[in-house]
Amino acid sequence: MPILEVKNLKKSFGGNQVFSDINISVNENQIYGIIGTNGAGKTTLFNIICGVFGPDSGQVIYKGQNILGKKPWELARMGIGRCFQTVMPFKSMTPYENARVARANAGKHSPGKELFTLDEIMELTDLKDKQNIPTQDLSLPDKKNVEIARALACNPDIVLFDEVSCGLSGEEIQARMALMKKLAAAGITVIVIEHIMVFIKEICDRVAVLHSGIVIAEGTPHDVSQNKHVIEAYLGGKEQ
Ligand SMILES: Nc1ncnc2c1ncn2[C@@H]1O[C@H](COP(=O)(O)OP(=O)(O)OP(=O)(O)O)[C@@H](O)[C@H]1O
């Protein structure tokens, strides 16, 4: 059953049309990948889903309700979480404080029914032994973990991750993949934008490929990687 559907989305910035007709359907508990070349509109799609700005036309349906027009904080309280490509935690606060503030602000719809305690979130995001260090003194990968911890503290039903593996080592990427799988196993729906194909192939149940304003392919990672439009448009004619 779909938890999130994007229907007939159109979006332009000035004269630059980013989407002419985007359609995506994400089922509950799936790990759903979104790929596409630079500038294909992946982050724009997340911004529209999260209420940062609206489309020119189309619909975003979350749990059966059209959510266009709702503010980002309203959507966070409805269970839509987001991790940004660039990290934006409160720098002077520790990881634990960042998570606590996020929970207090967005700790949503079902108080007392949080999926993870703050301690569990520190464990899940590998921050347990650093949870009392000011975030500004942590490494970039740890800061990214704080960003994930903040999203999880909001007790989301769905989390959108925008290139959270960017700049990480192979080992850190493996840890990130394991975390995504744990979130899905715990009942959270995960949508990831990633450029790293191994990441997409290993963890995603389904993938959508954005190109020239539309979804040129949708399916399992294997099916999508065999699709001739994808090979031509996204993989530069070479299968990966
Ligand atoms: N707020 C904005 N104002 C004007 N143009 C924008 C805005 N946000 C995005 N764009 C433009 O929309 C297009 C899609 O950008 P977007 O960042 O969504 O692509 P992307 O697929 O996420 O790219 P990347 O892989 O490089 O992160 C680009 O041409 C970009 O310049």
The whole-number pLDDT of residue 240 equals 47
Q: What angle do CA 213, 219, 223 make, to 5 degrees?
A: 110
Q: Which of 35, 43, 84, 195 for mutating ligand 1's site (highest number of atoms within 8 Å of CB)? A: 43
The whole-number pLDDT of residue 83 equals 76
CA distance 88 to 146: 9
- Residue 38 alpha carbon to ligand 1 centre in Å: 8
Which helix (H) or strand (E) is 82 found in, with range? strand 80-83
Assess if residue 59 is contained within a domain: yes
Residues within 6 Å of ligand 1 by CB: 13, 16, 18, 36, 38-44
- Residue 34 alpha carbon to ligand 1 centre in Å: 14
Cβ neighbourhood burial of 204 (10 Å; 0-12, 13-18, 19+): buried
Assess if residue 141 is contained within a domain: yes
Atom of ligand 1 nearest to the CA of 210: 21
Atom of ligand 1 nearest to the CA of 195: 25
Phi, psi of 177 (to 5 degrees): -65, -40
State yes or no: ipTM above 0.90: yes
Atom of ligand 1 nearest to the CA of 14: 4
Average pLDDT by stretches of 10, the chain with 240 residues: 95 94 96 92 94 95 96 89 70 92 73 83 95 94 90 92 85 90 94 89 95 93 91 64
Cα 78 off chain centre by: 16
- Residue 227 alpha carbon to ligand 1 centre in Å: 25
Number of domains in the chain: 1
Assess if residue 231 is contained within a domain: no
Beta bridge pairs of residue 161: 83, 192
Q: Which of 34, 37, 38, 42 for mutating ligand 1's site (highest number of atoms within 8 Å of CB)? A: 42
Assess if residue 234 is contained within a domain: no
- Residue 218 alpha carbon to ligand 1 centre in Å: 21
The whole-number pLDDT of residue 107 equals 60
Atom of ligand 1 nearest to the CA of 53: 1
Atom of ligand 1 nearest to the CA of 36: 21
User: 169: domain range?
Assistant: 2-215
CA distance 101 to 206: 33
How does 172-191 read in b/e, with b if 16+ C-beta sit within 10 Å?
bbebbbebbeebbeeebbbb
CA distance 204 to 174: 14
Structure tokens at 135: 């975030």
Q: Identify the residue whose tokens are 């938890």.
A: 3
- Residue 98 alpha carbon to ligand 1 centre in Å: 28
DSSP conformation class of 128 = G
Assess if residue 228 is contained within a domain: no
Atom of ligand 1 nearest to the CA of 46: 18
Residue nearest to atom 3 of ligand 1 (CA): 13
Give the domain CATH number at 81. Answer: 3.40.50.300
N-to-C CA span, the chain: 31
Instruction: Give SS3 for 159.
Output: strand
Beta bridge pairs of residue 217: 209
| Alpha helices by DSSP H, the chain | 42-49, 72-77, 95-106, 118-124, 140-153, 170-185, 197-203, 221-226, 228-233
Assess if residue 115 is contained within a domain: yes
Assess if residue 226 is contained within a domain: no
